[in-house]
Structure 1
Amino acid sequence: MTAPRKEATANHVHEQALIDKAAHERDNLDIVQQLRADSDIIEYKAYSHSSPGEIEHSLTITTLRGPDKIIVPPLMFFNTSYTELTTVLHLGKKLCGHEGIIHGGLAATILDETLCYLGYPALAPNKVVFTANLNINYRKPILSNQWVVIKAKLDKKEEYKAHVSASIRSLKEDALLTEATCLLIAPKPKKTTAASDAESTVSS
């Protein structure tokens, strides 16, 4: 084995060890164990709805994944009515804007993604949900290299719209860090040819 290949293999082994350690730490967090023990809570596998192409080109699933970034996939927990969602994830030191402080754009991204997860069941059977409006209030800096909890809820549902809100809190101090409100929309189904013909006949 050549020296570069040995180095690449060693780096991969080291990286995987860090990932395994983070996954073990995540699974043993008190909040995770409490949620998993609650029979009224449904654990959802993050990104399980995504296609291989979406995964390959995703910002949060692939580009920002790894040690010192989003080291392991977030854990997601719905209530039984799918109107509330709790997400647990770790934010590493390579996701900063200012030194030691998570970039505000990254905070917006993970809030938006969590809120869209809440929108899928709210606007079912639509498979696509878009963010029409996202308002964010930054309450305190999000320090890097910590576990955070995102709590999201459905506030109001209309036929093709869902009003949702969420907050990011530090797991250690339970401090409110960032809040967001959001309007999600689902595309209206296309009218069938028969319905369109009938509409044209009436209008003429």
Structure 2
Amino acid sequence: MLTLIDYANENVCGHPGLIHGGMTTVIAHSSMSLVAAINAPGKSIPIFTANFQLEYLEPVLTDSFVVMDAWITAVEGRKSYIASYLADATTGKVLVKAKSLFVSAA
């Protein structure tokens, strides 16, 4: 499992006061791919993303701290299934859920 804490500032806004969805995608994908790479079967790198899904539950507000947790849900041969969520660090409210399938190239 990986836990990441990030500060969301106004430099990554889509609309005033709201973090652009692309930035939350970058945070989610980066943390999930790191979990997949570190735990790849046989430590095989490179890995690639075969599937990536996000579910936006609430907007991510600027000037807030967020927590991203990512973990492995299953490993099948070269495939690693990863899940994650992005939550408001103050309230604990889940803002974004994500899941992905990563595959080891070797």
- TM-score (norm: length of structure 1): 0.50
Q: Distance in 2 between matches of 1:119 and 1:175?
A: 25
Displacement, 1:178? 0.4
The count of corresponding residues between Structure 1 and Structure 2 is 105
User: Could you tell me which residue of structure 2 aligns to residue 157 of structure 1?
Assistant: 75
Summarize the alignment of residues 17-36 of structure 1 with structure 2, pairs less than 5 Å apart.
none
Give deviations 1:56-87, integer Å, cap 9, x for gaps.
xxxxxxxxxxxxxxxxxxxxxxxxxxxx1111
Report if the CA contact (8 A) 1:85-1:153 is conserved: yes
User: Could you tell me which residue of structure 2 aligns to residue 23 of structure 1?
Assistant: none
Q: Distance in 2 between matches of 1:139 and 1:113?
A: 20
Q: Percent identity?
A: 25
- Tell me: higher relative CO, structure 1 or 2? Use CA pairs within 8 A at least 6 residues apart: 2
Counterpart AA for 1:93: E
1:139 equivalenced with 2:83 (yes/no) = no
Q: Secondary structure of the residue that 2:50 maps to in structure 1?
A: strand
Report if the CA contact (8 A) 1:122-1:157 is conserved: no
Normalized per residue, which structure has more helix? 1
User: Could you tell me which residue of structure 2 aligns to residue 93 of structure 1?
Assistant: 10
Backbone CA RMSD of aligned residues: 1.0
Unaligned runs of 5+ in 2: none
Q: Secondary structure of the residue that 2:11 maps to in structure 1?
A: coil
1:114 equivalenced with 2:25 (yes/no) = no
1:177 to 89, 92, 95: 95
Q: Secondary structure of the residue that 1:140 maps to in structure 2?
A: coil
